[in-house]
Amino acid sequence: MSLTNDYIKQRLTEKFGESISQVEESFGCLSFAAPKDLNLKVMQFLYDDEELQFRFLTDLTAVHYPNRTGEELAVVYHLHNFKERVRLRFKVYTSIEDTRVFTATRLYESANWMERETYDFFGVNFVGHPNLKRILNVDEMTYFPMRKEFPLEDQTRTDKDDEMFGRGGHIGI
Q: Give contact residues for other proteins (rule: CB under 8 A).
A: 26-27, 29, 31, 55-59, 61, 63-64, 76, 78, 82, 85, 87, 89, 105-106, 108-110, 112-114, 117, 121, 130-131, 135-138, 145-146, 150-152, 155
As to burial, measured by CB atoms within 10 angstroms (0-12 exposed, 13-18 middle, 19+ buried), residue 12 is buried
Nearest distance, CB of residue 59 and other proteins, angstroms: 4
CB burial readout 104-121, b (16+ within 10 A) else e: bbebbeebbebbbbbbbb
Nearest distance, CB of residue 121 and other proteins, angstroms: 8
Cα–Cα dist 58/56, whole Å = 6
Cα–Cα dist 132/129, whole Å = 6
Q: Which is nearer to other proteins, 101 or 114 (CB)?
A: 114
Q: Which is nearer to other proteins, 15 or 71 (CB)?
A: 71
Nearest distance, CB of residue 63 and other proteins, angstroms: 5
